[in-house]
Amino acid sequence: MKASGLAGLIWAVAAAGCGYTMGEPTLPGASSVAVPMARNETLRRGNEFGVGGHELDLTQQIRDMVISRTGYRLVPESDADIVAQVEILGYDTPFLVSDPADRPLVSNVSIEIRLTIRRRDGTQVFAGTKREVGYLVPSRDEDEGVARAEAFERLARWVVTRLEGGW
């Protein structure tokens, strides 16, 4: 085997072990997906649909990533081969580090979601939870929105990976 062939084989094995997949992985028989508005089980409203000054919402972040990263068509729930229902279970903003005057130096936003993927016939394909953290540094003029966007992006990537059959 040539060195370049061996390097390619090693890369493919390493990538597969890291959760990456080759080609166009999808759930068998599914070409369309619906991502209904996330259900929000927290008291922090607006994260599921982007109101109240929130320029970014989790549902749209997931939909955008489905369009840009997968071969699925994004369709209404009634027309979808599979439905990805997301529930926001937790939204926390604890301070990690503060100065002697209790001003935050570094903080974070921690968001937990539950994802359930079902086929058109109601068969559950996947169910799981994921917590992601986004960090902010007020001295760099970062606010909660920056940290929220970071956590949403990571959560959306996790959801799309599950839609690609990557579990």
Q: What is the count of structural domains for the chain?
A: 1
Q: What confidence score (pLDDT) does residue 14 get?
A: 47
Provide the 3-class DSSP secondary structure of residue 8.
helix
Q: CA torsion, points 153, 154, 157, 159, in degrees to nearest 10?
A: -110
Span 105-133, mean pLDDT? 92
Q: What amino acid occupies position 137?
A: V
Residue 69 counted as domain residue: yes
CA-CA distance, 64 to 58, in Å (whole number)? 10
**pLDDT-derived band of residue 117, with 50, 70 and 90 as boundaries?**
very high
Residue 89 counted as domain residue: yes
Q: pLDDT exceeding 70 applies to what percent of the chain?
A: 71
Q: Residue 153: pLDDT above 90?
A: yes
Residue 16 counted as domain residue: no
The 3-state secondary structure of 134-149, one letter per residue? EEECHHHCCCHHHHHH
Domain boundaries, position 46? 26-163
Residue 17 counted as domain residue: no
DSSP letter assigned to residue 23: S
Residue 11 counted as domain residue: no
Do residues 75 and 63 make contact, with C-beta atoms less than 8 angstroms apart?
no
Residue 78 counted as domain residue: yes
Do residues 47 and 37 make contact, with C-beta atoms less than 8 angstroms apart?
no
What is the domain-level CATH number for residue 36? Answer: 3.40.50.10610
Residue 9 counted as domain residue: no
**pLDDT-derived band of residue 27, with 50, 70 and 90 as boundaries?**
confident
Q: What confidence score (pLDDT) does residue 22 get?
A: 42
Q: pLDDT exceeding 90 applies to what percent of the chain?
A: 45
Residue 14 counted as domain residue: no
pLDDT in tens, 40-77: 888 666 565 554 444 568 898 999 999 999 999 999 99
